[in-house]
Amino acid sequence: MAKPVKYIFVVGGVLSGVGKGITAASIGNILKARGLKVNIQKCDPYLNVDAGTLNPGEHGECFVTVDGAETDLDLGHYERFMDIELKRSSAVISGSVMSEVIADERAGKYLGKTVQIIPHVTNVIIDRITKAAEGFDVHIVEIGGTVGDYEGLAFIEAIRELSVQVGRENAAFVHVVYLPYLGASKELKSKPAQNAVKDLRGLGIVPDVLVARSEEDADEDIISKLSLFAGVPEQAIISLPNASSIYEVPLTLQKRGIGQVLADRLNLETPKANLSEWQTMVEHATDQSKPVVHVGVVAKYLNNEDTYMSVFEALNAAGWDQGVQVDLEWVDAEEITKENVESVLDKTDGIVVPGGFGERGVEGMVIAADYALKQKKPYLGICLGLQVAVIAAARAAGLTDANSTEIDSKTASPVISTMEDQKGKEATGGTMRLGNYEAIIQKGTTAADVYKASSVQERHRHRYECNNDFRDSYEDWGIRVAGLSPDGSLVEMIDAIDHPFFLCSQAHPEFNSRPNRPWPFFKGFIEAAKK
């Protein structure tokens, strides 16, 4: 008989945003380093059907999986911490669960029964969790939000039921709680955490592990108090103070024994995790003595850095690899004008224009790309960053009305537009090109220099493409096609002629970067910026 899958459910209490996703990802990192085959899944209590429609300025980056799902940014943490590629099934969002139940109801699949949250909605959730777990030794499931949130109740009930179905020896619950610091008495307080455990118990779940987040390390007194009131053994209460880098968290959790506690609890017989390679990466990441490379990121959602999380992580990882600290300067694209571009970007060692949608800030991005082309500054264009570079090159060559039809649907020079022959063929979700597509790298280009390969798969999320009617003019404009779809019909990458480093991708290479395995696209850019 096949060994049963071991489930680890990660829930949170007291506050959201204290690092439940990082904790879940770190547990995955540790168990994978124990030689186990681990999968991970995020359940989000929003009524959206996917994360594609969420405002990134509010909710952070939309992470894209290889198979084209638009998901929560926590999946990005999972991929980076566990060095795995997740699938659509790793994202379970209430709206998609509800849609499935309602579609089944309309199709008559419930045979006249009253359709209810329990068992119909919970059964769909259980089904999605168990399907995603198939073939793995361990399956980690993070429930978004905090325990007791009205919207998350169906997920909590589903994991409670599932733990009974699979047997308690095959399911462990990790509760991430927060210990506030009271300045007046200079102490950490455990009461909110006790209450959070009570909330969880009230829903029928007894936690096996408590991860106690706090500003500073929790001392023995507070751990023993928490142990007494929460009914969790002291060795299963892991104090997790603030870290200087999120990548330190697996090391801290490992040192404090979470791997062993979970292995014992779930009868996982494996050697201890060896995190020495990870440790070396963290040393590079936290070394403040390295020379600084200044990178200007010209973008429009600047109120929330999470919007470009994977870009940020990919640039940093490239810096650690190259022995430099990357200092990111966020530049509001809407503030850039032809008059001030020099003073704004002059001091940077390189310019990045990341992805984006809509008109806002695009003119500033075109000006930044034009500046990088003319001043021979290292430039990295990601998706929209490629499109504005093509527009800038075309305008500089005299096509002054060059634009994307996303910005100006009536432009006489639509250098970026939707491809008629692509409709229906390339589009997956709605009209967007989503997920992995191959690019054939053109010899002698910057893309060939950095990737050192003849082709590469990158993840896409866009609607507009380089208009092939203008492709023959590229070399006159000073740019070149550096990557093409296998059938030659779509431009995947461009670079610039006679330029130290100017590389753009229609895809989002940031999703393939790992903290300990920086992606060539970013590594090449930081190498050039360093010079």
Interface residue list for ligand GLN (CB under 6 A)? 355-357, 383-384, 406, 461-464
CA distance 232 to 224: 9
Nearest approach, Cβ of residue 365 and ligand GLN (Å): 10
Asked if 45 and 144 touch (Cβ cutoff 8 Å), the reply is yes
Nearest approach, Cβ of residue 492 and ligand GLN (Å): 13
Does the annotation mark 383 as catalytic? Answer: yes
Nearer to ligand GLN, 121 or 384 (CB): 384
Nearer to ligand GLN, 7 or 379 (CB): 379
Nearest approach, Cβ of residue 341 and ligand GLN (Å): 21
User: DSSP readout, 448-508?
Assistant: HHHH-SSEEEEEEEES-EE-GGGGGGHHHHTEEEEEE-TTS-SEEEEEETT-SSEEEESS-
Q: Provide the CA 78 distance to its chain's centre, in angstroms.
A: 8
Q: Active-site residue among 157, 248, 458, 510?
A: 510
Q: Active-site residue among 43, 62, 383, 504?
A: 383
Say what the alpha-carbon torsion angle 83, 87, 307, 22 is, to the nearest 10 degrees: -50
Nearer to ligand GLN, 256 or 463 (CB): 463
Asked if 327 and 349 touch (Cβ cutoff 8 Å), the reply is no
Nearest approach, Cβ of residue 62 and ligand GLN (Å): 9
CA distance 230 to 222: 12
Nearest approach, Cβ of residue 180 and ligand GLN (Å): 39
Question: 305: part of which helix (H) or strand (E)?
Answer: none
Asked if 465 and 416 touch (Cβ cutoff 8 Å), the reply is yes
Contacts with 4 (C-beta within 8 Å, 6 or more apart), sequence order: 166, 167, 170
Nearer to ligand GLN, 174 or 390 (CB): 390
How would you label 207-218 residue by residue, b for 16+ Cβ within 10 Å and e otherwise? bbbbbbbbeeeb
Nearest approach, Cβ of residue 357 and ligand GLN (Å): 4
How far from 334 is each of 330, 367, 373, CA to CA, in Å?
Answer: 12, 11, 20
Nearer to ligand GLN, 22 or 368 (CB): 368
Could you tell me the two tokens for 524?
């090449």
Does the annotation mark 508 as catalytic? Answer: yes
Does the annotation mark 510 as catalytic? Answer: yes
Nearer to ligand GLN, 294 or 463 (CB): 463
Residue ranges of alpha helices (H) inside 44-152 are 56-59, 74-82, 94-106, 122-133
Q: Point out the residues that are catalytic.
A: 383, 508, 510
